[in-house]
Amino acid sequence: GPALLFVKTSQGKEEGRRFYACSACRDRRDCNFFQWEDEKVSETRLAAREEYNRNHQPSFTHRQNVDRYKNFVLLPLAKRRFCQECQQLLLPAEWEEHSDHQFLCDITTAQLKSPSQLLYPLENKKTNAQYLFADRSCQFLLNLLINLGFRRVLSVGTPRLHEMIQSKASQEEDFSVRSLLLDIDFRYSQFYTEDEFCHYNMFNHHFFGGEAARETCRKFLYEENGERVIMVTDPPFGGLVEALASSFKKLMAMWRETEKEGHDNKEMPMFWIFPYFFESRILDFFPSFSMMDYQVDYDNHALYKHGKTGRRQSPVRIFTNLTPSMIVLPEEEGYRFCTVCQRYVSSGNQHCEICNSCTSKDGRRWKHCVLCKKCVKPSWFHCSNCNCCTLQKHSCEKADLGCFVCGKAGHKRSACPSLSHT
């Protein structure tokens, strides 16, 4: 889809040169697209780019994949094969051209209902970063959504939550929750119809299926006049918050177009799942959001797993525009309700009387620094040279380097005033 506009800055210079680069891949080895904003592109180069794009299209369209799936499920178990190298369901006529590849045989209906476990996760941190919810977190999220009264879930980059909803809907007659998956991983088109999955890039709000896919999303949001629908998103943690926020606001705008009165000034209910250290960035774009203490963990990530102490705890949290007191966290996992803050907090998150808040972000008990006038991590100490709390073993010289953009001391590049207008 469309590229994003970036700026290349130099130390001490406020103005930088602007360029376009791939919205989804941050590594040139994955996508080598680069173009200066003021650069004139020749017809030859444009033609080469079009040819490159054509050669990198999927083997089948979404409609063809849906038809293939219908034929696949009619096959006897012994003829159901999945090519692990091509990540593709195979019909018997295609076996020969994949003869030297690794197969999975006897693909069951249960496996087809759980494609996130059948497909290899795409774990390139700079491209897909496809880390999948552990069952504990997935089940908690679904139970929470049901208890809050939501009946439709716009699953943006959350394939495991989507498949859990789809699976329960097919097995339980009284299960009334529905889900639409928006994801950049086109492999899911092999398992879901056009009403269940849209090929989507959350970094530039691009529907690869064009107006038809956009209309599918719009119809899903419009049902019941836009009531009882929530967006749940789990973006790659290395992604630009600004680009993500822009796309999410466009999805919210799509929801606001429903005929329901009173939507004009409201935000669509949303869960944004992201590490706690991005809190300030998310609040920059969504001031109405607040961060919950619940630790989201993942099956295939070594660090982002649920633990009870220290650094073994997952840093991933739920950011939401719902009233915090409505988000009930499981007491059996150590969460408790703080009557002052009116929200559930982790067991190590003690209420600070000076800050008048439960201040811990990482699950450990934080301590109040009188000089900083705020609570800080237990491993931090106040440094008189830096005039702030930091790790005991740190280099004070770094404080004198100044901002990378304007060269002035006292702030980092991300907080530079000269960038605030862009």
Q: In the chain, what are the helix, strand and coil shares in percent, each to the nearest 5? A: 30, 20, 50
Exposed, middle or buried: residue 62 (CB in 10 Å: 0-12, 13-18, 19+)? Answer: buried
DSSP states along 350-388? PEETTTTEE--SSSSPPEEETTTTEEE-TTEEEETTTTE
The model carries a pTM of 0.88
Pair (292, 167) in one structural domain: yes
User: Rounded to whole angstroms, what are the CA distances from 255 to 219, 231, 341?
Assistant: 9, 10, 31
Number of structural domains the chain divides into: 3
Is the CB of residue 203 less than 8 Å from the CB of residue 247? yes
Is residue 266 located within the same domain as residue 221? yes
Q: Are 358 and 346 in contact (CB under 8 A)?
A: no
**Is 44 in the same domain as 99?**
no
- Angle between helix axes 210-222 and 241-256 (nearest 10 degrees) is 60
pLDDT digits (tens, 9 = 90+) for 354-411: 899 999 988 888 999 998 999 999 989 999 888 899 988 888 865 445 565 565 655 5
Residue-number span of the structural domain to which 306 is assigned = 135-347
What span, in angstroms and rounded, lies between the C-alpha atoms of 98 and 338?
A: 59
Over residues 241-288, the pLDDT tens digits come to: 999 999 999 999 999 987 666 556 688 999 999 999 999 999 999 999
Structural element, H or E, at residue 178: strand 178-183
Of 347, 374, 395, the last residue of a domain is: 347
Residue 50, domain member (yes or no): yes
Is 70 found in the same domain as 41?
A: no
Three-state secondary structure call for residue 259: coil
Do 42 and 66 lie in one domain? The reply is: no
pLDDT given at position 25: 83
Do 39 and 161 share a domain, yes or no?
Answer: no
Q: Are residues 155 and 241 in the same domain?
A: yes
Segments in the chain below pLDDT 50: 125-127, 308-311, 399-400, 420-422
Predicted local confidence at residue 305, as pLDDT: 53
pLDDT at position 401, please? 54
pLDDT at residue number 76: 95
Give the pLDDT of residue 129.
Answer: 59
Do 206 and 284 share a domain, yes or no? Answer: yes
If asked whether residues 42 and 190 sit together in one domain, one would say: no
d(CA 370, CA 106): 65
